[in-house]
Structure 1
Amino acid sequence: MSAPLLAGILGLALLDALNPATIGGVALILLAPLRRPVACAAAFVAGAYLTVLTLGLAVFAGAGAAADAVTGGVTWVRRIALGLAAVLLLVAAVRRLRSRHRGAVTLPSWFGPWTAAPLGVLVTGADLPNAFPYLIAIERMVSADVPAGLGVAVLAGYALVYCAPCLVLLGLGAAHGASVRRRLDAVHERIGSARTVPRSVPAALGLVTLAAGVTALAVA
């Protein structure tokens, strides 16, 4: 595991951490009139962490096995992973070309400390199609022939970085509950309230450009 490779994976994890679904989920839990909001938020983050780690381990193991089983397997793993990442970017670009209404994010009536972790799994799992940085990071690890034990440790760290903004919110909520909730009102208004997301041609063009770059890497 070279320093440039580790730095690249860290950069991808930091990009992946800017995830409105999990961040908004923690903010909503801390704002909700619950008896134990911090415990609920901690369980939600734990569910998100386990989801990201489990998916990463499954993809890493499957990609490694495919690379070992087929002649030139590493090349095909790279092409498939980067090709899928490019497709996800193009899908995101198409979505930015039309405005869409997004309903308000609310907690279900059955929500509590024991159901927060499963909800974290569902929310994070539903947002994983946007996790193209994760696919690129795993492809880099397979291409570099990272050993299985070290790969597990790196993926555990990646999942921790992915959840870092949520952990920061959680820590602030535990230490400064009332003041943090006042500040989170603005975050919830932006992320969790019902609103119409306008179309953005510049954002779509940026995503298409990024997809073209990833495609070029895949065929190189």
Structure 2
Amino acid sequence: MLTVSLMWAIAGLAALDSLNPATIAGVTLILLAPMRRPGVTALAYVMGAGVIVWTVGAGLLVGSAQVGEAVAGASTWVRRGALLLAAVILTISAVRRLSPRTRAAVVLPTWFGPWTAAPLGVLVTAADLPNAFPYLLAIERLSAAAVPTGAGLAVLAGYSLVYCLPCLLLLAAGSVWRDRITSRLQRVYLRFGGERVQPRSVRASVGLLVLATVVTVLAFAL
């Protein structure tokens, strides 16, 4: 059942998920690049990201509902699988934080343009979805609440919009005040998409492990 509290929870997860470094860096890099129609290109990139977020989520939601109807108790294991996958992702992230690593810079390929922006947005976002813990948790919550398929798909459409909102705001600001905020855009790119050495952090690793443990417990408690 779709409740107000569930919708607020999904909205919060979407807001957390919207701070996606790859998507934000992609939009920033497009606005900084010396190309024709950067605004149109960036919009196509964001639309590609939004479409794949909704499409994958819809597939997981509808698939879990159909499996649950076909096999008694299967939907419970689908929900547990989503949470356990999220726990595994958190554990891998925790292990990675125990050693320093260099994050490669996000760069535009030579063939990039208005017609290829949407497919690249799809590819970049799809590659990052398995690491999207809030996204998996949101789908699990919709499935656990037995939300009707139509309402669930509508909620996922709203999730996709919230996911793209920071990029759309950045696109609007960059298109209107591009000359004025070029230096700020450059800082945004360096923060989210530039090459960066991530230092070792035991505190962050412990925090991620604790969160992974909580998610694992929830997987079998629900």
Counterparts of residues 8-157 of structure 1 (less than 5 Å): 8-157=9-158
Letter in 2 for 1:113: P
CA contact (8 A) 2:21 2:193 kept: no
Corresponding position of 1:170: 171
For 1:217 and 1:194, how far apart are their aligned partners in 2? 36
After TM superposition, give the deviation of residue 77 of structure 1 in Å: 2.1
CA positional deviation for 1:149:
0.8
| Gap runs ≥5 in structure 1 | none
Cα distance between partner residues in 1 of 2:196 and 2:8: 37
SS at match of 2:102: strand
The share of aligned pairs that are identical, in percent, is 59
SS in 1 for 2:115: helix
Instruction: Tell me the secondary structure at the aligned position of residue 11 of structure 1.
Output: helix
In structure 2, what is the Cα distance between the partners aligned to 1:142 and 1:126? 23
Letter in 2 for 1:176: W
Per-residue deviation at 1:182? 2.2
**Counterpart AA for 2:61:** F
| Cα RMSD for the two superposed structures | 1.2
| TM-score in terms of structure 2 length | 0.95
> How far apart are the structure 2 equivalents of 1:86 and 1:103?
25
Deviation at 1:41, TM superposition (A): 0.5
Could you list the per-position Cα deviations for residues 101-149 of structure 1 after superposition, in whole angstroms to 9, with x for gaps in the alignment? Answer: 2222211111110011111111111111211211111111111111111
Q: Does 2:211 match 1:207? A: no
2:197 match: secondary structure: strand
Query: Whole-Å Cα distance in 1 between the matches of residues 193 and 74 of structure 2?
Result: 43
1:201 CA drift (Å): 1.3
Structure 1 length as normaliser, TM-score?
Answer: 0.96
CA positional deviation for 1:181: 2.0
Query: Which residue identity lines up with residue 156 of structure 1 in the other structure?
Result: A
Cα offset, 1:193, TM superposition: 2.1
Query: Which one is further off, 99-108 or 37-46?
Result: 99-108
- Whether the 8 Å contact between 2:31 and 2:175 is mirrored in structure 1 is no
Gaps of 5+ in 2: none
Cα deviation, residue 196, structure 1: 1.7
